[in-house]
Amino acid sequence: MDARSCQLPELAHAVDVLIAIVPGNPSTAKTVNADVLSALGPEGVFINVGRGTVVDEGALIEALRTGTIAAAGLDVIADEPNVPNDMLALDNLTILPHIGSASVAIRTAMADLLARNLIAWFQSGTAITPVP
Protein backbone atom coordinates (compact mmCIF):
# COMPACT_ATOMS: atom_id res chain seq x y z
CA MET A 1 0.00 0.00 0.00
CA ASP A 2 1.27 3.47 -0.89
CA ALA A 3 0.28 5.69 2.06
CA ARG A 4 0.48 8.77 -0.15
CA SER A 5 -2.39 7.66 -2.36
CA CYS A 6 -4.62 5.51 -0.14
CA GLN A 7 -8.00 6.53 1.20
CA LEU A 8 -8.56 6.91 4.94
CA PRO A 9 -10.55 3.64 5.35
CA GLU A 10 -7.70 1.75 3.62
CA LEU A 11 -5.19 3.36 5.94
CA ALA A 12 -7.34 2.54 8.99
CA HIS A 13 -7.55 -1.08 7.86
CA ALA A 14 -3.74 -1.28 7.63
CA VAL A 15 -2.97 0.00 11.14
CA ASP A 16 -3.61 -0.98 14.75
CA VAL A 17 -3.75 2.59 16.07
CA LEU A 18 -5.13 5.53 14.11
CA ILE A 19 -4.07 8.95 15.43
CA ALA A 20 -5.81 12.06 14.13
CA ILE A 21 -3.83 15.30 14.26
CA VAL A 22 -5.99 17.24 11.85
CA PRO A 23 -7.13 20.87 11.80
CA GLY A 24 -10.83 21.50 12.19
CA ASN A 25 -12.51 23.12 9.20
CA PRO A 26 -15.43 22.38 6.88
CA SER A 27 -13.33 20.10 4.66
CA THR A 28 -12.28 17.89 7.61
CA ALA A 29 -15.61 17.77 9.49
CA LYS A 30 -16.51 14.20 10.48
CA THR A 31 -13.66 12.77 8.42
CA VAL A 32 -13.33 9.94 10.93
CA ASN A 33 -16.72 8.34 10.40
CA ALA A 34 -18.37 4.93 10.68
CA ASP A 35 -16.58 3.64 7.57
CA VAL A 36 -13.16 4.59 8.92
CA LEU A 37 -13.88 3.14 12.36
CA SER A 38 -15.22 -0.08 10.85
CA ALA A 39 -12.04 -0.40 8.78
CA LEU A 40 -9.93 0.10 11.91
CA GLY A 41 -11.54 -3.04 13.29
CA PRO A 42 -12.26 -4.68 16.64
CA GLU A 43 -8.62 -4.63 17.78
CA GLY A 44 -8.11 -1.05 16.65
CA VAL A 45 -7.58 2.02 18.78
CA PHE A 46 -8.47 5.55 17.71
CA ILE A 47 -6.76 8.63 19.21
CA ASN A 48 -7.66 12.24 18.44
CA VAL A 49 -5.37 15.10 19.42
CA GLY A 50 -6.36 17.40 16.55
CA ARG A 51 -9.83 18.91 16.61
CA GLY A 52 -13.04 17.35 17.88
CA THR A 53 -15.04 18.24 14.78
CA VAL A 54 -12.92 15.83 12.72
CA VAL A 55 -14.76 12.91 14.36
CA ASP A 56 -18.34 11.82 13.86
CA GLU A 57 -18.92 11.45 17.60
CA GLY A 58 -22.15 9.49 17.16
CA ALA A 59 -20.33 6.96 15.00
CA LEU A 60 -17.47 6.79 17.51
CA ILE A 61 -19.82 6.17 20.43
CA GLU A 62 -21.56 3.42 18.47
CA ALA A 63 -18.25 1.85 17.42
CA LEU A 64 -17.09 1.75 21.03
CA ARG A 65 -20.43 0.41 22.32
CA THR A 66 -20.60 -2.40 19.77
CA GLY A 67 -16.94 -3.42 19.75
CA THR A 68 -16.40 -2.20 16.20
CA ILE A 69 -13.16 -0.78 17.63
CA ALA A 70 -11.45 -1.71 20.89
CA ALA A 71 -10.86 1.69 22.44
CA ALA A 72 -10.39 5.40 21.90
CA GLY A 73 -8.53 8.26 23.50
CA LEU A 74 -9.67 11.83 22.95
CA ASP A 75 -7.81 15.00 23.86
CA VAL A 76 -10.49 17.02 22.08
CA ILE A 77 -14.24 16.82 21.53
CA ALA A 78 -16.52 18.76 19.21
CA ASP A 79 -18.34 20.84 21.84
CA GLU A 80 -15.65 21.44 24.44
CA PRO A 81 -15.96 21.48 27.38
CA ASN A 82 -19.35 19.75 27.13
CA VAL A 83 -18.78 15.99 27.05
CA PRO A 84 -21.77 13.98 25.84
CA ASN A 85 -23.17 11.71 28.57
CA ASP A 86 -22.99 8.76 26.16
CA MET A 87 -19.21 9.22 26.06
CA LEU A 88 -18.88 9.38 29.83
CA ALA A 89 -20.62 6.00 30.13
CA LEU A 90 -18.02 4.17 28.03
CA ASP A 91 -15.32 2.12 29.79
CA ASN A 92 -13.22 1.88 26.63
CA LEU A 93 -12.93 5.65 26.10
CA THR A 94 -10.45 7.98 27.79
CA ILE A 95 -11.01 11.73 27.55
CA LEU A 96 -8.44 14.36 28.48
CA PRO A 97 -9.14 18.08 28.88
CA HIS A 98 -7.37 19.27 25.70
CA ILE A 99 -3.86 19.04 27.13
CA GLY A 100 -2.05 17.32 24.26
CA SER A 101 0.23 20.30 23.83
CA ALA A 102 1.16 20.46 27.52
CA SER A 103 4.86 19.78 27.15
CA VAL A 104 7.59 22.09 28.39
CA ALA A 105 8.93 22.64 24.86
CA ILE A 106 5.56 23.51 23.35
CA ARG A 107 4.44 25.72 26.22
CA THR A 108 7.79 27.54 26.11
CA ALA A 109 7.37 28.10 22.36
CA MET A 110 3.83 29.38 22.98
CA ALA A 111 5.07 31.83 25.62
CA ASP A 112 7.86 33.00 23.30
CA LEU A 113 5.37 33.59 20.49
CA LEU A 114 3.10 35.53 22.83
CA ALA A 115 6.01 37.76 23.85
CA ARG A 116 7.03 38.30 20.21
CA ASN A 117 3.41 39.20 19.35
CA LEU A 118 3.24 41.72 22.18
CA ILE A 119 6.54 43.31 21.18
CA ALA A 120 5.44 43.51 17.52
CA TRP A 121 2.10 45.01 18.54
CA PHE A 122 3.66 47.76 20.61
CA GLN A 123 6.34 48.46 17.99
CA SER A 124 4.21 48.39 14.82
CA GLY A 125 0.56 48.02 15.76
CA THR A 126 0.32 44.59 14.13
CA ALA A 127 0.72 41.13 15.57
CA ILE A 128 2.94 38.42 14.07
CA THR A 129 0.08 35.91 14.26
CA PRO A 130 -3.16 37.90 14.27
CA VAL A 131 -6.41 36.13 15.06
CA PRO A 132 -9.15 37.00 12.56
- DSSP track, 69-124: SSEEEES--TTTT---HHHHT-TTEEE--S-TT-SHHHHHHHHHHHHHHHHHHHHH
State the catalytic residues: 51, 80, 98
